[in-house]
Structure 1
Amino acid sequence: MIRKAVIPAAGLGTRFLPATKSMPKEMLPIIDIPTIQYVVQEAVDSGIDDILIISGKGKRAIEDHFDRNFELEARLEEKEDQAWFNEMRRLSDMANVHFVRQKEANGLGDAIYYARHHVGDEPFAVLLGDTIMDSVIPVTRQLVDTYEQYGGSVIGVETVPHDKVNRYGIVGGKALSDTILQLDTLIEKPAPENAPSDLAIAGRYILSPEIFDAIENTPKGKNNEIQLTDSMLLLLKRENFFAHLIEGKRHDIGNKLDFLKTTVEFALKRKEFAAPFREFLKDILKAEG
């Protein structure tokens, strides 16, 4: 049973400067909901309510977001705005959210290592804090189901165009079904001719606690940082490791263009915005010829 989730959210967000000079990139809103709230909600919807967020300098806004705001709640009560009052209480009560700071930006593997005391000897989920999954069944729940069936660490993967595999960590292995592979290799950003498949790591994982020992033994790699992919490759040599082809769409909020695309797609799904916003987009496209 997976009881705990870890959300790395310590990155500097340099691709979103100047907005992220004083605001965590994970707090950038998709319309009116911060990115990281979608991630926490996915963990909760997957049956996990013990969540550790790995934060860093300048990330206090994330802690405040999941904490109680008594002054705001009192003001909403005074205004008899029950809907928003209930939503603010739901937000602060949705999970047991804990925080620990990554003292230096030493890579994703190093960030995960900060979770070792909180996780202990249990398997746990990892959800990247700048990646939103849009799916009917929560993607983390899909991975939990695979873990419970096969009993080994699981990586969520998605199919990417073959000529773009050099942008991702790519997995390779033996197909056990249409959606499950037993892995025999992981390669970070391979040249297309060297890629073992077109299946890219999608920012969701179920990891055994042995990953911490693997991280300890992982030398610094790309950008002189401890890469989680390198640590998982070490773990792959010791125990069974699986990949699950996720059902759903991944939204990478780590760059501006994808952030804009995600905002548009989510706006078109919101009942109060969908019709007028669609007409607005049509008018713009028509005006541009």
Structure 2
Amino acid sequence: MIIDTHLHLIDQSALRYPWLVGVPALNRDFSYEEYAADARRSGIEGVLHMEVDVDPADIAAETAYVKSLAGRAGSLLRGAIASCRPEEAGFETYLETVKAEPFVKGFRRVLHVVPDDVSEGALFRQNIKRLAGTGLTFDLVVLPHQIPKAVALADLAPDVQFVLDHCGVPDIKGNAEHPWREHMEAIAKRPNVTAKISGVVAYADPATWTVDTLRPYVEHTIRSFGWDRVIWGSDWPVCTLGGGLTTWIAATHALLAGTSESERARLLSGNARRLWRLN
């Protein structure tokens, strides 16, 4: 069975998503019901919602919206990774609010859409350090050339658990492995970073990719981090750009062929359960 650690839901009647204007293929509603139908058929038994970079004014509303869906009978939703703005003075107060809400399991601030110096600011770094001891994780989504910025954050806050999204966002369509490969080896040396096997089908050529196209990137990530520090995510609906949820799950199983039952169980569910203390 699978724990999906990276689901995006889009409901434009409830929340605002300014960035969708620039991504026509995703500029529609993607509902929990649409996701859950395929997820249940594919062996997903629990899921964490990943923030969708909503309008900053809607950050708290997004968490409340997802929590309401989780309250429905039989819901797969087990928690949320919430949006945040560590570069802003209000983060400390926001953190105190989130600490009182067990449904929130961590934070993410999308860093590849802002200037590199955002994560280098003194306030940003001070606020990241505040996560130590809270049990809240911080997801890092950066481009390959920005992975050293993620390394710096991991070194700055060794008591904070970080999650590197999407295998470090390699340029698979461009068949580019460098400097991504070296940077992945470097960040994997930080014991407080876990890698998320997700997103890669969206970075490959949607018309031509095969399992072997993805294999060098997925296997290098797993080899670098080890089986105890990798988790799985669908990145739905972004994965629809490369074939969809069931296609990505089928590719995952093909990529894991020949591995042990224990290794598969850790990547697909066990590590996520331990990391976020999920049932």
TM (norm. structure 2) is 0.31
**Larger helix proportion of the pair:** 2
TM-score (norm 1): 0.30
Task: Kindly indicate whether structure 1 or structure 2 has the higher relative contact order, using CA contacts under 8 Å at least 6 residues apart.
Answer: 1
Higher strand share: 1
